[in-house]
């Protein structure tokens, strides 16, 4: 039993956490603050309030932020947990590297291939995007998938005037599904927190993932049809596109910054990029190290002159800096949420509002109620703070640990719009999208996935009702 005074503190911190999330969303949606400002200023203000509520020192606030950005050390086990500094470095050097590769023309043949095959058809482009994202995300790494897919398709979407927000939505939908593979972070966290074997959990999740992927492909098809109408593209007349029109579309790629292109070094740049990506997927070295060394080599080989190299770095720095700053700022948000106890309080409150009177019907209700927590809390905070506790509660009503684990994975349908996922800030920056608008659009198009999971898991018996 929680004492009255402790419960009062939990309630106060829960309210503070909810207010912080709401203020963050409102300020972003109304463009009152930049992403960097919202992720830094909002949690700093609410973190200061939390120090007063909890009786902590104001200096503790800076420690929470440090832990969110850099690292934290578990006082009992001595285990070191890194903050967002690791993905921030990956994003910084990856954006620099792929920006350079766009300049030298590495992706020109790919863009030209899709333009020729699409013949101006947005539907073919959206379908190619979802299938590419599906294949690439099999490695289980969100950042890598976003980096590769943005590099491959961004210029094509711009050239064909397809809405860039659709590129963001189509990329993240398969990621949210296939992050549940056995080597994906959510699956590992859920199995560890709830004492279920990964193979058993994955076997239960697989049918829902397959049906959700079918929906993701249908969603991309629907978006493609919608863009056809908006752009007045009629597939029946596509064959009438003149050679002059096709040449004009191709020249938009070929003649963009021709002084920066290095066609004679195409083979070198392709081999270098493939080598980096293979080592990244095989986890040979940290992504920041690979892209950092790769960028240095590519700059030196392609541009040789120190003055020209410095000029390229200056031009590319703005593109690389913005998402990296947003990623570091996300560490302020998650650090304050975790360090202040707000995430634990939110977990406790969500656990408390699940009516135990539901008995065996508790699992699907919990799955729905927990979805917002999966979206806004750090992953470990949810699975070890909420899911682990709820597993014990549901076990009292005959719901097995594996069934509870499946219920805890349903909310992954909305995980890929979380403000605590660093790579998303690179995605919205590249696609010139407001973060809240991205969240809203994703929910509008992808909301059926959560009900697909519920329906499929109920039919297969993985989720009791």
CA distance 192 to 391: 12
How many C-beta atoms surround the C-beta of residue 361 within 10 A? Answer: 14
- What does R_g of the chain's alpha carbons equal in angstroms? 23
CA distance 9 to 15: 10
Q: How sure is the predictor about 271, in pLDDT bands with cuts at 50, 70 and 90?
A: very high
Structure tokens at 119: 């013949």
pLDDT of amino acid 219: 97
Q: Per-residue pLDDT tens for 382-441? A: 786 677 767 777 777 788 889 889 999 998 999 999 887 888 988 998 899 988 899 999
Name the maximum alpha-carbon separation found in the chain.
77
- Which of 306, 307, 282, 279 has the alpha carbon at shortest distance from 294? 279
pLDDT of amino acid 177: 93
pLDDT surpasses 90 at 142: no
Burial level of 372, CB count in 10 A (0-12/13-18/19+)? middle
pLDDT surpasses 90 at 447: yes
Q: Are 401 and 391 in contact (CB under 8 A)?
A: yes
Higher pLDDT, 204 or 361: 204
- Which of 21, 26, 142 has the alpha carbon at shortest distance from 86? 142
Long-range contacts of 225-228 (CB under 8 A, 24+ apart): 225/123, 227/122, 227/123, 227/126, 227/162, 227/163, 227/166, 228/121, 228/122, 228/123
Average pLDDT over residues 81-94: 83
pLDDT of amino acid 237: 67
pLDDT of amino acid 242: 62
pLDDT of amino acid 139: 64
Q: Per-residue pLDDT tens for 9-67? A: 888 998 998 899 888 878 877 778 887 888 899 999 999 999 999 989 999 999 999 98
How many C-beta atoms surround the C-beta of residue 309 within 10 A? Answer: 15
Q: Are 209 and 177 in contact (CB under 8 A)?
A: yes
């Amino acid at each position: 039993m929680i004492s009255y005074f402790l419960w009062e503190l939990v309630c106060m911190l829960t309210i503070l956490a909810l207010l912080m999330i709401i203020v963050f969303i409102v300020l972003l949606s109304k463009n009152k603050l930049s992403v960097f400002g919202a992720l830094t200023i909002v949690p700093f203000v609410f973190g200061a309030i939390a120090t007063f509520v909890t009786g902590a020192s104001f200096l503790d606030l800076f420690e929470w932020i440090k832990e969110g950005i850099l690292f934290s050390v578990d006082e009992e086990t001595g285990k070191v947990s890194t903050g967002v500094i690791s993905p921030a470095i990956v994003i910084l050097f990856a954006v620099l590297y792929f920006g350079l590769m766009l300049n030298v023309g590495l992706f020109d043949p790919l863009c030209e291939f899709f333009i020729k095959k699409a013949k101006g058809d947005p539907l073919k482009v959206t379908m190619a995007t979802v299938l590419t994202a599906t294949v690439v995300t099999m490695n289980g790494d969100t950042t890598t998938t976003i980096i590769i897919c943005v590099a491959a398709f961004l210029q094509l979407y711009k050239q064909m005037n397809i809405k860039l927000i659709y590129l963001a939505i189509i990329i993240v939908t398969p990621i949210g599904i296939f992050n549940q593979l056995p080597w994906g972070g959510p699956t590992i966290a859920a199995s560890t927190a709830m004492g279920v074997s990964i193979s058993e959990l994955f076997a239960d999740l697989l049918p829902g993932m397959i049906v959700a992927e079918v929906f993701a492909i249908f969603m991309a098809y629907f978006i493609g049809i919608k863009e056809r109408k908006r752009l007045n593209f009629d597939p029946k007349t596509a064959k009438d596109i003149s050679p002059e029109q096709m040449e004009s579309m191709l020249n938009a790629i070929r003649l963009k910054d021709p002084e920066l292109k290095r066609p004679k070094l195409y083979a070198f740049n392709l081999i270098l990029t493939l080598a980096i990506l293979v080592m990244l997927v095989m986890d040979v070295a940290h992504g920041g190290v690979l892209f950092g060394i790769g960028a240095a080599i590519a700059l030196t080989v392609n541009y040789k002159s120190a003055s020209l190299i410095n000029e390229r770095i200056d031009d590319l720095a703005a593109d690389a800096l913005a998402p990296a700053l947003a990623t570091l700022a996300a560490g302020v948000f998650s650090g304050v949420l975790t360090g202040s106890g707000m995430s634990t309080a939110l977990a406790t409150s969500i656990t408390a509002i699940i009516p135990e009177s539901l008995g065996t019907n508790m699992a699907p209700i919990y799955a729905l109620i927990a979805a917002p927590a999966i979206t806004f809390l750090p992953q470990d905070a949810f699975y070890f703070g909420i899911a682990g506790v709820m597993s014990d509660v549901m076990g009292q009503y005959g719901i097995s640990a594996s069934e509870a684990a499946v219920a805890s994975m349903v909310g992954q349908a909305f995980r890929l719009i979380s403000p605590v996922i660093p790579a998303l800030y690179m995605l919205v920056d590249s696609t010139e999208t407001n973060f809240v608008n991205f969240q809203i659009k994703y929910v509008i198009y992808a909301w059926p996935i959560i009900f697909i999971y519920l329906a499929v898991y109920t039919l297969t018996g993985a989720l009791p009702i």
